[in-house]
Chain A
Amino acid sequence: MTGLKAWLMEDIGSSKDQEHQSAKNGRAVDKDSRRYKLCVNAAYVAISITMLVVTWYFISWYVNKTVIPTPMETWDALVSFFENGDSTAGGSAWSYIRSSFGTLLKGFLLALVFAFPVGLLLGSVNVLDRLFSPALNVLRPIAPVAWAPVLIILLQSDASGAMMVVFIGAFFPILTTVSFGVKKIDVNLINATKVLGASWSQTFFKITVPASIPFLMNGIKTALGIGWMCIVSAELYASGVGGLGNYITNQAGLGAWPQVYAGIVIVGVLGLITVLVADYISKVLNKKWGVEE
């Protein structure tokens, strides 16, 4: 306990404050220190996850059927998956993860490359917005995975099909947030560059693009979450890609429920990690852009 307290007190972020603090308060824990905040955050995360696992355990105990294994059974399946790989189809856990993650990243980057400029254009050119928005709004509510059969036949590849499903899923949130953000740009920023003699394209690149970055980051966060949903559902459909979705379907076909849940847990954790990384980048940028969170 004293060890933890001591560790909490030596803050890397504010060593100067620290001297001051310890001189004044003796051994009190500095509640503004970065380490303290980190610990509090970690505690919350731990409690939240524990609640999830306990609820899961309770449901599994109550239902008492093999389709809902206990967390312990799932944990064993998870460990064995990482240690021995997929016992039936072969292939290590990492190869499944790599495959899913690769498809996700490709689909997401493709979406970013298209959705960002299109969002900028729709946001800044009223005529284009009015022209394309109705059509896009018709397409938006269609579940991306609904395109999977079409895409797989069209591209003649399960992997490209799955990637395109991610593309569709990630495209809309990026497009929407960016075009919304551009419309919200303070007209005075635009005027400030205009009175300095800026052309339309200069204003576009010096104001519109940078001002839209915080909105882009919000879109990216949503897009990554949706991307994980898309990739797994597309892999449930496309049998030849070898991602986590494949693993889950295959194991479900064999009735190996703990293995199915192990796959689901991996997807959940990976999804969380990706979104946390995007969240961190977004926080750093928002601070620089002076955006209140």
Chain B
Amino acid sequence: MSIVEWLKEDPSAGKERADGRRNRPSVTEWLKGDAGKRPEAPVERPSYSMGSDYDVQISIRNIGKTYVKNGIETKAIDDISIDVRKGELVSFIGPSGCGKTTLLNLIAGLLPPTSGVVYVGDRECVGPGRDRGMVFQDFALLPWRTVKSNVELGLEIAGVPKAERSAKADEYLRIVGLEKFANSHINELSGGMKQRVGIARALIVEPDVILMDEPFGALDAQTRNLMQAQLIEILKNTKQTIIFITHSVDEAVYLSDKVVVLTKRPTTVNEVVEIPWSRPRNRTTPEFNSIKREIVEYLEHENVMVDRCHPSPLESSAVPAVMPGHFSSDSGVST
């Protein structure tokens, strides 16, 4: 075994190992990851991409990922191609363990793909960079810093002078409604407030796209609804492009311009459902619920167990929840 191979064998960047322990990427991998660097010359987008659509912000082309651990191959993602337009919110929904987090990590550049390419605009992405921000389900905030200094992190890394950093942080704290908590410590905040810090931290560097991995999954039902409303407000003001992963069909339909339903592992795109309405939306309309039902049906197609607690979907405004603790058609946390 050559030393290079041996180094490569290190636990893959940013992923959980099968035994549940988290692993730090090694330096070698980090260096290979080419953090934040962009190719010198813009790489031409191959001709098969949607050449006429100049609005495309993120283009995922035939991306695939196979994990290799101890000689065992796990094909997480088979082949996914999706375009995300500027200002769009595209959500991904799929069975648990199908590879949603993997997909997001591939787009973020935290994991090297086995096949395929991710383009941001015309640039081919190699490694993570500040053009693709991220919001984490468990917030991933720095508890030893104040709220404001957490928000400033990206600017600090970019070497922005202190005064400018501070002014901009104030602006983004206002956007997420936390200006009164600038000097609070992270562990004094509620879950919803923590995630607003997470969102402000991602927004402040003005990335081309923000990747959100079940960002409201750890919040209670009411906070979750509030956060969705606030995200819509933020979208209105910033026109931020967002790729959103969720477990909740309701959340997906409420927020997205486009819902990408994934198949189970190895993942491919099952169906793309366009949602043509402007935001904010009314959750109680029959149209809203019929789209929800449509998505649940696509998911059911994947042999996901269905909780038939509602005898007939027509009898209630809600769509039957799919697999308790997994998909929920309600707006709250999975039952």
Contacts and interface: CB of A to CB of B under 8 A. Distances in A.
Nearest to B6: A127
Given A197-B35, A197-B36, A188 B140 contact: yes
Interface in B10-28: 10, 14-16, 22-28
B26 A187 contact: no
Contact of B142 (A126, A182, A189, A199): A189
Interface of A: 124-127, 182-183, 185-200, 202, 206-207, 210-211, 213, 288-290
A150 B129 CA distance: 53
Contacts of B156: 206
- A interface secondary structure, majority: helix
B320 interface: no
Please indicate which of the listed interface residues A126, A196, A207, A211 has the most CB atoms of chain B within 10 Å of its own CB: A196
Given A125-B27, A185-B24, A210 B144 contact: yes
B36 A124 contact: no
B24 A191 contact: no
A198 B128 CA distance: 9
Interface residues of B, number: 45
B188 to A, nearest CB: 9
Nearest to A190: B24
B185 A290 contact: yes
Contacts of B130: 195-197
Interface of B: 7, 10, 14-16, 22-28, 30-31, 33, 35-36, 105, 108-110, 128-130, 132-134, 136, 138, 140-144, 153-154, 156-158, 185-187, 201, 205, 211
Given A198-B35, A199-B35, A192 B136 contact: yes
Contact of B157 (A186, A196, A211, A289): A196
Given A195-B128, A195-B130, A196-B130, A187 B24 contact: yes
Given A126-B10, A195-B110, A200-B31, A210 B142 contact: yes
A207 B110 CA distance: 17
B143 A206 contact: no
B35 A186 contact: no
A126 B29 CA distance: 11
A290 B142 CA distance: 10
Contact of A290 (B24, B143, B201): B143
Contact of B26 (A127, A197, A202): A127
Please indicate which of the listed interface residues A127, A194, A210, A290 has the most CB atoms of chain B within 10 Å of its own CB: A194
A288 B185 CA distance: 8
B25 A190 contact: yes
A44 B153 CA distance: 45
Contact of A125 (B26, B36, B138, B205): B26
Contacts of A198: 35-36, 157
Contacts of B105: 191
B14 to A, nearest CB: 5
Please indicate which of the listed interface residues B24, B25, B141, B158 has the most CB atoms of chain A within 10 Å of its own CB: B24
A189 B140 contact: yes
A187 B36 contact: no
Contacts of B132: 195
Given A127-B7, A191-B108, A194-B35, A289 B143 contact: yes
B108 A195 contact: yes
